[in-house]
Chain A
Amino acid sequence: MKVLLVEDNERVSRFVVKGLREAGHAVDHVENGQDGLFLATTETYDAIIMDRMLPGDLDGLGIIENLRGTGNRTPILILSALSSVDERIKGLRAGGDDYLTKPFAFGELLARLDALVRRIHGDDVGATHLAVGDLQMDLRSRKVSRGARAIALQPREFQLLEYLMRHVGQVVTRTMLLENVWDYHFDPQTNIVDVHISNLRQKIESQGETPLVKTVRGAGYMMTAEG
């Protein structure tokens, strides 16, 4: 995909540009608000990564409000050192689609960017049935089965599995799971998400069955049919 990075910190931008290019994405990078707004309105991007505090008169939120005001719906991920919940809400109200606090792990940035782009392209939002390999999920009757085996899940486990299946082939991070499955928008500094995943794995991956949930080191988890 094609990504615009608006970020004035040299070190952060070098790291993000390099990482994104290595992941196979095309990246345009600008260092101030005016250039950012210009490129965002003249070119077409799949996603924009926007730093909040930028040199010059136009800051990140200003650009976003400008873009949204002219009907531009490109998914925007806000990067910011301002970490409080209020700042996060301010960013999302201005029209950002996701908010990531500095310092961040690159895996987190990439996974969120991926999720953003797919969400906007909205592949299966209205689906009533999800399938990954021989794992089946009926969203209306809330039944899960693998092959002929019916799997009984707790409500939260069902939500967790649904999120993973909806993001099949994508890396989902622990914080993404916390935010989207539990609605906890903070870092609880625990490994409890891993315990939940491990419990879920035990239920959907019986002996002899192909593993479906892969651990991605330094980032999170990914559901794949290939195993």
Chain B
Amino acid sequence: MLTRLTRSSALTLAIFYVLLGVVSLALFAFPLWYAWQVTIEDGRIELIKEDVQRFSEVFDRRGDEGLADFINQRVSLQIAGERILLMADPRQKPMAGNLSAFPAEIPSAPGVYTLNMTLSGHPTRVVLERAALPGGYTLLVGRDLTHLSPLETRFWEGLAGSITIVIGVGLFGGWLVRRAVLSGIDNVNRGVAAIVHGDLSHRLPVGGRGGEFDMLSITINRLFDQIEQLVHGVRDVSNSIAHDLRTPLAELRSRLEEIVVTRPSGEEVYDEVAAAVEDVDRVIGIFNALLRLAEIDTGTRRAGFVEIDPADLAAKAADFYRPAAELKSISLDFRAETGLGKISGDPLLLSQAVFNLLDNAVKFTPAGGHILVEATQGEIAVADDGPGIPGDEKQHVTERFYRGDSSRGTTPGVGLGLTLVSAITSLHGGRLDLSDNHPGLKARMILGGSAS
């Protein structure tokens, strides 16, 4: 717990803020104190000057004896606020006052001085005026600077109190912040730990106040969403691969076993083995499609990009498929916008993508239907008037091995065609858009990058 406390960054932060508070308080207090000091000293000098003025007047009116009496009276009555009061004759011998001897530390010229001297055996800081009176007499009037006035004492006490409060409040605030931060982090830690232990559906609680921890939780939750989707995706794909490969492999197995069991004539064996090779080719075809997908998904194929004319490419693919469509009594038309710019892309992959769309169109469109291949700016579209794809299935058909309910079991294929088209269009910086052709399906390959 202690190491946790000392390592806590929240505590470090709190201490830092306390120090900052103390320093700023000091920065605030010291100029104030200095200004105060100067004011106090000036005030004392003012008082001293008034004293000297008054004593000079007494001297003028009543002469040296009169002033000496006046001073002694002041000292004996203890009404004098002056720490130093001394009248000396021209030989600097004290005549009256509260000092027994003329202090040696005082400069000989008249004036106002602030200096340290020893009074009654104590070092004392004083401010004093040395004044010359007519007839060679000297007058010393000084006040003590060491003793604080009650106000000064209050000031220092107040400052000490403020510092204590700042430290206290700072530490308490730091503790509160630390507690809040730690509980937020603990939440995140617990959530992440749950995911690590396999509970993929766990999500971090979001308070809804939109604070930093809520934002962090939302981001992490989004990350978890993606992880969950990926993991499920991988699981679905492996399930589908296993499932889709099992069928041709099962057929292959029974074909081979039949040969072993029934031992047919040579010619029949060859026919069966040739059919078995076809079964294997189907399996290899699935793997090839998966490998190609992986290759496209990694984006390494971008290196093979060249400038291509999308209208040419689409027209050639349409020509290639036309006999197959006509065989099913489906008309296949091609239309291109004039003046289409070239695009940067991989001609083989794009042809493959158009093939896959055409393959689906020919496969699903009934006899007498129409297929239209269209090349427009930044887009190649294949539209048919077949059954189309129901709205809720559109978002799934590009997933690996997804097959619509209507086609499963009735139409050949493994469910990789549209996945490949989608991967190829995104490799080209675009996307595959499937929309309703009323009736039928319109598949638009929206290609992002243009060559120029």
Please, which residues of chain A bring their CB within 8 A of the CB of B115?
none
- What does the 1/0 interface line of A163-189 toward B look like (CB < 8 Å)? 000000000000000000010111111
Let me know if A85 and B301 touch, CB within 8 A: yes
Please, which residues of chain A bring their CB within 8 A of the CB of B351?
184, 186
Let me know if B352 and A188 touch, CB within 8 A: yes
B269 CB, nearest partner CB in chain A, Å: 15
Which of A103, A185, A186 has a CB less than 8 Å from the CB of B284?
Answer: A103
- What does the 1/0 interface line of B351-368 toward A look like (CB < 8 Å)? 110010001000000000
Is B196 interfacial (CB-CB < 8 Å)? Answer: no
Is A93 interfacial (CB-CB < 8 Å)? Answer: no
CA–CA, A195 and B352, complex, Å? 18
A216 CB, nearest partner CB in chain B, Å: 12
- Given the interface pairs A187-B288, A195-B327, the reply to whether A86 lies near B303 with Cβ below 8 Å is yes
Let me know if B359 and A190 touch, CB within 8 A: yes
Please, which residues of chain A bring their CB within 8 A of the CB of B451?
none
A26 CB, nearest partner CB in chain B, Å: 26
Please, which residues of chain A bring their CB within 8 A of the CB of B285?
187, 189
Let me know if A186 and B327 touch, CB within 8 A: no
Which of A84, A182, A185, A198 has a CB less than 8 Å from the CB of B320?
Answer: A182
Let me know if B323 and A199 touch, CB within 8 A: yes
Name which of B281, B300, B320 has the most chain A CB atoms within 10 A of its CB.
B320
CA–CA, A84 and B292, complex, Å? 8
The chain B residue with its CB closest to the CB of A218 is B274
A82 CB, nearest partner CB in chain B, Å: 11
Is A150 interfacial (CB-CB < 8 Å)? Answer: no
Please, which residues of chain B bring their CB within 8 A of the CB of A198?
323
Chain B 310-344 residues near chain A, CB threshold 8 A: 316, 319-321, 323-324, 327
CA–CA, A165 and B289, complex, Å? 33
Let me know if A192 and B304 touch, CB within 8 A: no
Is B29 interfacial (CB-CB < 8 Å)? Answer: no
Please, which residues of chain A bring their CB within 8 A of the CB of B320?
156, 182, 184, 192, 196
Q: How many residues of B contact A (CB 8 A)?
A: 26
Q: How many A-B residue pairs have CB under 8 A?
A: 52
Interface of A is mostly: loop
Which of B288, B289, B323, B346 has a CB less than 8 Å from the CB of A192?
Answer: B323
Let me know if A195 and B324 touch, CB within 8 A: yes
Let me know if B319 and A84 touch, CB within 8 A: no
Is A149 interfacial (CB-CB < 8 Å)? Answer: no
Please, which residues of chain B bring their CB within 8 A of the CB of A184?
320, 348, 351
B183 CB, nearest partner CB in chain A, Å: 52
Please, which residues of chain A bring their CB within 8 A of the CB of B300?
86
Let me know if B348 and A217 touch, CB within 8 A: no
Let me know if A186 and B277 touch, CB within 8 A: no
CA–CA, A195 and B316, complex, Å? 16
- What does the 1/0 interface line of A84-95 toward B look like (CB < 8 Å)? 111001000000
B318 CB, nearest partner CB in chain A, Å: 12
CA–CA, A78 and B303, complex, Å? 23
CA–CA, A128 and B205, complex, Å? 80
CA–CA, A186 and B291, complex, Å? 13
CA–CA, A130 and B351, complex, Å? 31
Which of A84, A89, A103 has a CB less than 8 Å from the CB of B295?
Answer: A84
- Given the interface pairs A83-B288, A156-B319, A190-B355, the reply to whether A185 lies near B348 with Cβ below 8 Å is yes
A173 CB, nearest partner CB in chain B, Å: 13
- Given the interface pairs A83-B291, A184-B348, A186-B348, the reply to whether A192 lies near B319 with Cβ below 8 Å is no
Please, which residues of chain B bring their CB within 8 A of the CB of A192?
320-321, 323-324
The chain B residue with its CB closest to the CB of A182 is B320
- What does the 1/0 interface line of B267-291 toward A look like (CB < 8 Å)? 0000000100100010011001101
Please, which residues of chain B bring their CB within 8 A of the CB of A186?
348, 351-352
Chain A 62-113 residues near chain B, CB threshold 8 A: 83-86, 89, 103, 105
Given contacts A86-B304, A189-B289, 18 further A-B contacts (CB under 8 A): A84-B301, A85-B304, A86-B301, A86-B303, A103-B284, A105-B281, A156-B319, A182-B320, A184-B320, A187-B288, A190-B324, A190-B355, A190-B359, A191-B324, A195-B327, A196-B323, A198-B323, A218-B274
A interface, CB within 8 angstroms of B: 83-86, 89, 103, 105, 156, 182, 184-192, 195-196, 198-199, 217-218
21 contacts between A and B (CB under 8 A): A83-B291, A84-B295, A84-B301, A85-B304, A85-B346, A86-B300, A86-B301, A89-B304, A105-B277, A156-B319, A182-B316, A182-B320, A185-B348, A187-B288, A188-B355, A188-B359, A190-B324, A190-B359, A196-B320, A196-B323, A218-B274
Chain A to chain B: the 8 pairs with minimum beta-carbon distance, closest first: A195-B323, A188-B355, A195-B324, A192-B324, A199-B323, A186-B348, A196-B323, A84-B295
